Structure 1
């Protein structure tokens, strides 16, 4: 089984590039920013399930999505998609929108990007979100790590800040996206320390040296055999095929050297990881 745990969904009319063009700033060569439901379904043909969510960061990266788009994609392709709600605690109706997304639209988790709205994880406006997620058994995926957006605070993406929240909300399942790049070791030690914290490797495949170092560190900290690291793409910023091959071929970088190898067990455990068995208190039927 292959599950893509990090897929972005939005319609074309919800994308208007800001001063820093999202399509050109994310990775070398740029990105095709098509991410509507039909495009996603075709892109995800080689995975069994995909967790999808819409970005609500219109002011920082130019994508102003909503949960209705996510829910419509799930309704159209229920065999493939599982939807998460998006939250922006700057909005006065944040909790109302979240309750609608979960109660009415039947989304199964929550996505939050502190780095894109400069709301740090210890901001009091997030406490109702954490409490709601914990009460309703909703995993919280967070964009942890850097960004190219100019009008945001980099410190908001530091994985070390997850530690205190995980201690305050021990029953809240928290997932640090992108292994918190470039603060990967922070991400690894927090995931190792906190039973309720996980991470995933989406969007690392096109930075292969960083990806390799991340997995070496994860092996050395012995979290690779604890079902703590999950696989994903961050589509449309990375494709399924390149993300699979980037993981499978990670040791090509160090052929002919004495540098450590990523074990086949680690590669297989990540590629075939199943968040539905771990991110909810009881396995989610999908």
Structure 2
């Protein structure tokens, strides 16, 4: 079973904050491609023709894009609710009304929207999100309990740099980790940079999780995006703690296949086991699985003579490692190895 461990779906805020957030996130890519001006701020007129960016991410399209590329399951991450940033009411929101969640649209229902999608689409694995600054720490702890115990979501995603709190804050963050330990779930944490301007860059450094990993040795903790651009810092931190993992979502998008291979060698050099590296896309902003999955599964096409990445390591990176992090019990090593062999000709042809 191949699992993409990092995807986003629906919308991330209510308008007008939704529009501002999406434009800030997409602007760098458009500038690189020449679709937006590089030497001055973009105006509303410059964005004409790019309105599709603002459309909610359709869950059916997400599933189709993954299944057609050879991916069995896709993890969809809730966005934690907030009301105090430049993006207004931010959080997973069902702007297109594709879920069965009734009532007015509310960012406080972020977990309900994700849970609804997982009920409708068995290919999706849902991760909850909470924010201790939204309605207080106790609300966040209770909401996490509800999301896991009642809604059936698999774990937790935190967004400290977006929600303006330090990931190792003992008053705000530690009580959330404590509840996660009690519930027996893993916690994914956004780490690395962001082109969204109203974020706290210092809270995106992977080393900030070192104290968390030391204080909660029984908590499965995953650093998203390999902490890009602080990748060595991420590898060093994960190497230190047996309970930590990382995913390569977005980082792999920004890397050539050769750079991805060298990253895996660097992980070994710094003592970070490949058994704690997970494949993800950051769909749709990070790109399509049809492009990003072969970049990893065919990584030995660019390997140095005598220094390949083992097929077993590849199989675990595209499913087994995240399954172990998230406590999934239906992942099969042999099945995934056979899957890689069967799909390899199609990935090469594409």
How far apart are 1:116 and its partner, in Å?
Answer: 1.2
Q: Unaligned regions of 5+ residues in structure 2, if any?
A: 36-51, 93-109, 332-350
SS in structure 2 at match of 1:47: coil
SS in structure 1 at match of 2:161: helix
Assess, with a 3 A threshold, how the Cα gap between structure 1 residues 247 and 110 changes in structure 2: closer, same or farther: same
Measured in 2, the distance between the counterparts of 1:74 and 1:81 equals 5
1:223 aligns with 2:261: no
SS in structure 2 at match of 1:21: helix
1:44 to 55, 66, 70: 66
Match runs of 1:174-185 below 5 Å: 174-185=221-232
Counterpart of 2:2 in structure 1 is 2
When normalised by structure 2's length, the TM-score is 0.71
2:131 to 76, 82, 88: 88
The size of the alignment, in residue pairs, is: 279
Match runs of 1:267-282 below 5 Å: 267-280=314-327
How far apart are 1:142 and its partner, in Å?
Answer: 0.6
Match runs of 1:191-202 below 5 Å: 191-202=238-249
User: Which has more helix, going by share of residues?
Assistant: 2
Counterpart of 2:57 in structure 1 is 35
Which has more radius of gyration?
Answer: 2
When normalised by structure 1's length, the TM-score is 0.85
How far apart are 1:216 and its partner, in Å?
Answer: 2.8
1:22 to 3, 10, 25: 25
Measured in 2, the distance between the counterparts of 1:222 and 1:119 equals 30
Q: Unaligned regions of 5+ residues in structure 1, if any?
A: none
Structure 1: 4+ residue segments shifted above 3 A: 11-15, 25-34, 56-63, 209-213, 248-252, 258-262, 264-269, 283-286
Backbone CA RMSD of aligned residues: 2.9
How far apart are 1:49 and its partner, in Å?
Answer: 1.4
1:64 to 91, 100, 109: 91
Quick check: 1:115–1:145 contact (8 Å CA) kept in 2?
Answer: no
Quick check: 1:34–1:236 contact (8 Å CA) kept in 2?
Answer: no
